[in-house]
Amino acid sequence: APCCDKLYTCRLCHDNNEDHQLDRFKVKEVQCINCEKIQHAQQTCEECSTLFGEYYCSICHLFDKDKKQYHCENCGICRIGPKEDFFHCLKCNLCLAMNLQGRHKCIENVSRQNCPICLEDIHTSRVVAHVLPCGHLLHRTCYEEMLKKGYRCPLCMHSALDMTRYWRQLDDEVAQTPMPSEYQNMTVDIHCNDCNGRSTVQFHILGMKCKLCDSYNTAQAGGRRISVDQQ
């Protein structure tokens, strides 16, 4: 480690034991565990031919098992591949799966933001990032935990997955649950978190359905009103 001149088996071990972080790009030398020779950072020991890693990046100085890694110049770090299964979105500034090319919502430099669940870094994290329909990113593990408690993006409140089937179930529940007579002609202004539209709908305790996109991911945007006839 050029920062403290100490030997560590990996940068994470260094960071866990020191009060500073190791800059992987500044690493110049490595020591062979077998013959203990200190030498320029490289994939194979120049003294005893020990293979330091099936994969080695001379930029990141990453030594690892072969996981089809590749170095992305735009990301500035190594990613787990294979490379042909990913593309780099210049606006999002992140490598994404090929099936998302032209099918995701771009947010400029989205990967440079911390995960809104755990507040940890996403760009250099070893945990896979999950792209929400709204374009925001979460760690995959954080996304899975979030779904146990809710279905909305913690940043913009947009639905984090396709809720169509659940909305149709809610349609049936609303139809089977008539409101008391004093509420049957009550309307309310709502804002839809999915399409950002506003509409006036009949108030129902189970949920209020957006007239524009049929989503129940809505919030009340104004006071309740009773029709003139009812008054």
For 195-214, write each residue's pLDDT tens digit.
999 999 999 999 999 999 99
Give yes or no for residue 229 having a pLDDT over 70.
Answer: no
Residues 218, 198: Cα–Cα separation, whole Å: 9
Q: Which of 49, 12, 43, 16 is nearest to 30 (CA)?
A: 43
| Section 119-147 average pLDDT | 92
Indicate if the alpha-carbon torsion angle 191, 209, 150, 195 is positive or negative. Answer: negative
CB atoms within 10 A of CB 167: 19
To the nearest whole number, what is the mean pLDDT of the chain? 92
Residues 30, 45: Cα–Cα separation, whole Å: 9
Instruction: Provide the pLDDT for residue 223.
Output: 66
* Cis geometry, peptide bond prior to residue 82 (ω within 30 degrees of 0): yes
| Section 4-13 average pLDDT | 93
Instruction: Provide the pLDDT for residue 228.
Output: 40
Residues 80, 140: Cα–Cα separation, whole Å: 15
In the chain, what are the domains? 11-64 (no CATH), 69-148 (3.30.40), 163-226 (2.20.28.10)
Q: Please, which pLDDT band fits residue 124 given cuts at 50, 70 and 90?
A: confident
Residues 13, 4: Cα–Cα separation, whole Å: 13
**Amino acid symbol at 96:** L
Chain CA centroid to CA 26, Å? 29
Q: Any idea what the Cα angle at residue 107 is, between residues 211 and 69, rounded to 5°?
A: 125
Dihedral pair phi/psi, residue 223, rounded to 5°: -70, 165
Residues 23, 26: Cα–Cα separation, whole Å: 6
Residues 59, 28: Cα–Cα separation, whole Å: 10
For 175-193, write each residue's pLDDT tens digit.
999 999 888 889 999 999 9
Cβ proximity of 105 and 135 under 8 Å? yes
Give yes or no for residue 65 having a pLDDT over 60.
Answer: yes
Cβ proximity of 6 and 22 under 8 Å? no
Cβ proximity of 131 and 99 under 8 Å? no
Give yes or no for residue 231 having a pLDDT over 70.
Answer: no
Instruction: Provide the pLDDT for residue 160.
Output: 96
Strand partners, 29: 40
Q: Please, which pLDDT band fits residue 222 given cuts at 50, 70 and 90?
A: confident
Instruction: Provide the pLDDT for residue 227.
Output: 55
Structure tokens at 66: 């072969």
Chain CA centroid to CA 25, Å? 25
